[in-house]
A and B are shown apart, each in its own frame.
Chain A
Amino acid sequence: MKNCEYQQIDPQALPTPTPTPPPHHGKDTEKKKEPRRPRRKWEVFPGKNRFYCDGRIIVARQSGVLPLTLGLILVTSGLFFIFDCPFLVKHLTSCIPVIGGVLFVFVLITLLQTSFTDPGILPRATPDEAADIEKQIDNTGNTSYRPPPRTKEVLINQQVVKLKYCFTCKMFRPPRTSHCSLCDNCVERFDHHCPWVGNCVGKRNYRFFYTFIVSLSFLTAFIFGCVTTHLALRAQGGKGLVFALQESPGRYPLVICFFSVWSILGLSGFHTYLVASNLTTNEDIKGSWSGKSGEDVTNPYSQKNIFINCCSVLCAPMPPSLIDRRGFLPTDESAQTGSADIELPTLAAKSEINVVGSPFALQKSPSPVETSLPAVVPTQHLSAACC
């Protein structure tokens, strides 16, 4: 890539981008006067996510098998409560539906929280930031379209960690951050993208995910145990096990639980190990800290104490969402007046991108496909031309 020459582009000369629903992307000053519905930031979010309830709920674009997960849990628990509980309450104890109910509610709430919470998405770099990083990267005069992969090394607790440059988000990824191709976002402390919950599992929703799988293991094991007891009691009292199985629809939860309990228990065990050693699934799979390459590497994030590791993963203060889904985009007035009239004379003297730093810009990825507010368009073209 040749050294990026940021040329001044006259925003007045730029063609008006094709209007999408709110037609306010032209440069004409009279458009400033039109009253517009203020838009929220989630409406212009560049990642592949879907938003509901005016930005309060965020899910991945592909919901994966979340409906199946919900369906299985609801159907299995429903059958359990309807067919097995009455019998067991009569013959054993009435605690059974209570315990089952508590576990069921727990599972459902944590599942929905895992699916609908922002996993720790990092907003993409603003055009100014991206330009600053480009300047700092040593340019070897490579003329191919894509420069060689960029990495930066940092020392974390005496351990060398390589930070990779994300071409989509235009920034060096913080440690433990990974770019999810399904959601097209960089996610902090990326664990994995779980199709069962239809969302990435990252820093902010890992504790929900862990609670979900642990409580699901308890629920599955509980239902399995209760249904087995139910069938055993029926078989004892009557005509045998086969008849008991045929008679009661309670056999369906048994089958579902039998097949799922092992995998769910296994998953819970695996994640308990990850929590205790402060690892992510991503790091474990890649073997980042296992010293496969023969180097002396240790996990720099582990506190070397199981209890402290568990607490720091599960009980740490809940980090805030960095993408501010429900914030309002500034109106065109505040975006334009700062840039159009006053900035041009000074901009011509400089060879850098100068845009009024406005909060909305952090949501925009400099892609030609994105329609945008006027102040960002010049930098989009500049960045697109450069990259």
Chain B
Amino acid sequence: MAETHSLQDMRQQTAITAKVFIQRDYSSGTMCQFQTKFPSELENRIDKQQFEETVRALNNMYAEAEKLGSQSYIEGCLACLTAYTVFLCMETHYEKVLKKIAKYIQEQNDKIYAPRGLLLTDPIERGLRVVEITIFEDRSLTR
């Protein structure tokens, strides 16, 4: 997993100092959306625009996963006709998008967040409640 890989690399020279939690944004209902408000703890670590872009991209992907369109209606009706047994054999649309999200987070961690001593945790590992950002203190600077 992305975080284990990064943790193993980082643990020799860094330590966790804090965790920031980006909470859910319920203004448009129960859809999975996260707040784009920039937390103050990250002020001197990362660009506000960069952060907002990451959260917006995540929000868009979750919206895509939960989208009600003609495709989801057809899938739903077909599933109903088969007494929903298709869910046992097929990967659902949501699961496909979750894989995409996991890849995106790993990419963001590798390219943008890890070099700045930050680590994004995939929200699915926190029950889609929060985006957890771990802030590492860079010990190599103090040696």
Give A residues with C-beta under 8 Å from B.
Answer: 105-106, 109-110, 113, 122-123, 125-126, 128-129, 132, 154-157, 161, 163, 171, 174-176, 188-189, 207-208, 211, 300-301, 308, 311-312, 314-320, 322-324, 330, 334, 337-338, 342-343, 345-346, 350, 352, 354, 356-357, 359, 362
- B68 touches which of A188, A312, A334 (Cβ 8 Å): A312
Task: Determine whether the beta carbon of A207 is less than 8 Å from that of B80.
Answer: yes
In the complex, how many angstroms separate the beta carbon of A185 from the nearest chain B beta carbon?
A: 11
Known contacts being A207-B80, A356-B7, A357-B134, is A154 close to B26, with CB within 8 Å? Answer: yes
Q: Is the interface of A mostly helix, strand, loop or mixed?
A: mixed
A295–B95 Cα distance when bound, in Å, is 40
Is the CB of B65 closer than 8 A to any CB of chain A? yes
The answer to whether A156 touches B28, judged by C-beta atoms less than 8 angstroms apart, is yes
Q: How far is the CA of A36 from the CA of B83 in the complex (A)?
A: 40
Kindly identify which residue among B30, B80, B84 contacts A174, using a CB–CB cutoff of 8 Å: B30
Report if A129-B83 is in contact (Cβ < 8 Å); known contacts: A315-B73, A362-B126: no
| Cα–Cα, bound, A357→B130 (Å) | 13
User: Beyond A132-B21, A312-B68, is A357–B3 a contact (Cβ under 8 Å)?
Assistant: yes
Per the bound structure, the CA–CA distance linking A65 and B21 in Å amounts to: 42
Question: How many whole Å from B13's CB to the nearest CB in chain A?
Answer: 9
Q: Decide yes or no whether B19 CB sits under 8 A from chain A.
A: yes
Tell me if B137 and A346 are in contact (CB < 8 A). Answer: yes
A126 proximity list for chain B (CB < 8 A): 126
Nearest CB on B from A75, distance (A): 21
Note all chain A residues with C-beta closer than 8 A to B73. Answer: 311, 315
Cα distance A174–B24 when bound, in Å? Answer: 9
B11 contacts chain A at the CB level, 8 A cutoff = yes
Are B83 and A106 closer than 8 Å at their CB atoms? yes
Contact of B17 among A314, A320, A338, A346 (CB under 8 A): A346
